[in-house]
Structure 1
Amino acid sequence: MKPTMHAKPSGSKRQPNFDTTQPSTKLRNRLAAEMANVAIYLESGLTSNTMRAYASDLRHFKQWGGRIPATPRTVARYLVECAKTLKVSTIARHMAAIAREHNRLGLQPPTQSALVRATMRGIRRIHGCSQKQAKPITSAIIRRLVTPIANFSELRNSRDRALLLLGFSGGFRRSELANLTINDLSFEKRGLVVHLRTSKTDQNGFGRDIAILNGDEPVCPVKALKEWIKHLQCNYYENDNGSVIFRKIDRFDRIAGGLSGAGINWILRTRMQAKRMDVAGFSAHSLRAGLVSSAAMASVPIWEIQRQTGHRSESMVHRYIRNVGLFDSNVSSRIF
């Protein structure tokens, strides 16, 4: 006997239909929050300067007509267009910006494709990979630059003197000089210890200390820095030890906000012009290049130069030493 089939009551509730193909709103919100945390760590892995450069490069790509996500063919065409006007190193940075944006969105970067990589190899081969190097500043040039300029105020001469002498003696990058605060300095009997909290080659912020020795007048970086800090503390920024040391000075001789890397470059070139010196090839990086070149001329061991400048490898130091004349410190002079 067949069992009787009862009709389903019309008022009964329908069983919920669990569709596992679509994530719930709660799950989507959790995934979005996790990706936001990932983005925070991605951005923390880059310096603010690099972030700004990548943002500019990405705008350039989109203004050209690119979009994210991009195909390998689109990126290859973009690189070819860039090769008409940009340096190879700049094009490589544009590639890195495009790759980073894809990684940030969880997408496969087209820059890793065979087509894009082959295109970049061709650009490097045709246009070359050599980078323009800043001319090194010698100790003789430094002596001329730090002597007071008559139509510059005492405040401006004091700042410039401290900036240039510290930059040269420490082999600092311009970004490192711009970010220094009074709290980063420790004055001692033999000189000064500068604590770099972070740098281009230390983006994780392990930090390192650089010793600046007392020198003879008029090129003692320690005394010059003390005099500039006295201007800051006595007249403007007393008890403000967390503020940056090197600051802008407006046309009314008032101290303003912190200097940028470009501002340091402008100060160097302006003083060179005031001293009727040729500025071609010189930049703020010339201070760092000058220390390395001068140390090489004085037969200072590579490891000592690296300890001062923070270069990770000897090969990077040798890029600066190439600025030393071919007939200076030549190996044959020690043979015959």
Structure 2
Amino acid sequence: MGDLEPTDPSPETPAELPEGITLEDAERITQLAEEDRRPSTRRVYRSKWSLFASWCEKRGADPLPASEELLSAYLAERAEEVSLSTIRQDVAAVKWMHERHGLESPTEGSGIGRVLDGIAQTSDPTGGRGKKQAALTEHIRKMVEALPLEAPAPDEGVAAEARHLRALRDRAILLVGYAGAFRRSELAAIRSEDVSRGAKGMEIHVPETKTDPRTVGITYAEDASLCPVRALGEWTGAAGIEEGPIFRAVPRSAKIATGEEAEPITGKTVRNVIGDAAEDAGLDPERMAGHSLRRGHITQGALQGAGLDRLMKQAGHADPRTTAEYVEDARRMETTTAQDLGL
């Protein structure tokens, strides 16, 4: 399972050597086989393999040998966090470990190739990490300001009421998702019982996560118009939500489902909310999606000087290098040595 040690298994010297092969030949072959990759490459592969094995363990699946479907699911999740080049390293590591154990690799099937092609097609064409652009605070402000938040007059009818409720919900989605650095699936799944409020803000428990369950703290914002705590309270108050899913569909009738009929929105709805708000704000909706809030939090936090350990904890990243890549992206123009060339 996931605790499998990512060692370098070596081909064993056969009990009976093939005709014409001496024991010295076999030992030399074995030694060369052990050096099939540079030490630095083997370290990277072991690290990538360890992440995959841990993910499989949480799924109750055996990583060695892994099925093509299992690896495809892993890569699809990883594509929400890391670049295409990192995904390709993941694939290479899985292939290497299977080959070292003399097992058929799941990477040989055509399915993995199609998954990689799909990730390439949906990746950021500018070459940035992940799929979409980071939504920074300046973008969030524009998106919130573009929402029709003004309360309708009593004589404007049900359609206006539904539009207003939807705007309250969407503002809460944007601000809570951004402040909490949530994955879109985590954001969509938040329930009333997961939220606890206090003097400094609120804590949201995240039971469904790709790593371990975590609790995220969100403080009150100085700017009331951009405060995630107040925004969530206004939405749940207007919608009459006291238990069950926090974020629900807003039908044209403006009658939001309650009780056992209440269903949470999906990650697709989160994506659509962000894309629509970006378009209304004059931003490129093709580059803003569900991951933009999460990536934006880490990027903006890094720009503001938040430490790697705090950002990693907020995002719930299992590997600090994933968080470090975001930070590196955010500070690239500060750390580039092009400024030291005297040009």
Query: TM-score, length-normalised on structure 2?
Result: 0.57
Unpaired runs of 5+ in structure 1? Answer: 1-41, 47-52, 59-86, 97-110
CA contact (8 A) 1:174 1:284 kept: yes
Counterpart amino acid of residue 222 in structure 1:
V
Partner of 1:320: 326
* Secondary structure of 1:271's aligned partner: helix
Partner of 1:6: none
CA RMSD of aligned residues (A): 4.0
Partner of 1:178: 188
Partner of 2:238: 231
Partner of 1:146: 144
Once residues 299 and 44 of structure 1 are traced to their aligned partners in structure 2, the CA distance between those partners, rounded to angstroms, is: 35
Partner of 1:304: 310
CA contact (8 A) 1:193 1:212 kept: yes
Cα distance per residue 1:80-132 (max 9 Å; x no partner): xxxxxxx9969x99xx9xxxxxxxxxxxxxx9734765679x969x98x9765
Counterpart amino acid of residue 113 in structure 1:
L
Unpaired runs of 5+ in structure 2? Answer: 1-56, 62-67, 74-84, 95-100, 125-129, 149-159, 258-262
Once residues 185 and 266 of structure 1 are traced to their aligned partners in structure 2, the CA distance between those partners, rounded to angstroms, is: 24
Q: CA deviation at 1:148?
A: 5.1
1:166 aligns with 2:176: yes
Residue 133 of structure 2, aligned match among 135, 141, 144: 135
Cα distance per residue 1:257-310 (max 9 Å; x no partner): 321001100011011112222112221100000000011111211001011111
Cα distance per residue 1:5-55 (max 9 Å; x no partner): xxxxxxxxxxxxxxxxxxxxxxxxxxxxxxxxxxxxx99748xxxxxx959
CA contact (8 A) 2:147 2:171 kept: no
Aligned length: 230
Partner of 1:196: 206
Partner of 1:293: 299
Cα distance per residue 1:133-183 (max 9 Å; x no partner): 121001001011112534882211110111110100110001111111110
Once residues 336 and 105 of structure 2 are traced to their aligned partners in structure 1, the CA distance between those partners, rounded to angstroms, is: 45
Once residues 203 and 337 of structure 2 are traced to their aligned partners in structure 1, the CA distance between those partners, rounded to angstroms, is: 35
Partner of 2:28: none
Once residues 279 and 328 of structure 1 are traced to their aligned partners in structure 2, the CA distance between those partners, rounded to angstroms, is: 28
Counterpart amino acid of residue 135 in structure 1:
Q
Once residues 88 and 301 of structure 1 are traced to their aligned partners in structure 2, the CA distance between those partners, rounded to angstroms, is: 23
Q: CA deviation at 1:331?
A: 7.8
1:272–1:113 distance in 2 versus 1, CA, 3 Å: same
Identity of aligned residues (%): 25
CA contact (8 A) 1:135 1:323 kept: no
Q: CA deviation at 1:222?
A: 0.5
Once residues 201 and 265 of structure 1 are traced to their aligned partners in structure 2, the CA distance between those partners, rounded to angstroms, is: 22
* Secondary structure of 2:334's aligned partner: coil
Cα distance per residue 1:238-264 (max 9 Å; x no partner): 5xx1x1101111233332532100110
Once residues 314 and 88 of structure 1 are traced to their aligned partners in structure 2, the CA distance between those partners, rounded to angstroms, is: 14
1:115–1:193 distance in 2 versus 1, CA, 3 Å: closer
CA contact (8 A) 2:165 2:239 kept: no
Counterpart amino acid of residue 141 in structure 1:
H
Query: TM-score, length-normalised on structure 1?
Result: 0.58
* Secondary structure of 1:248's aligned partner: coil
Higher Rg: 1
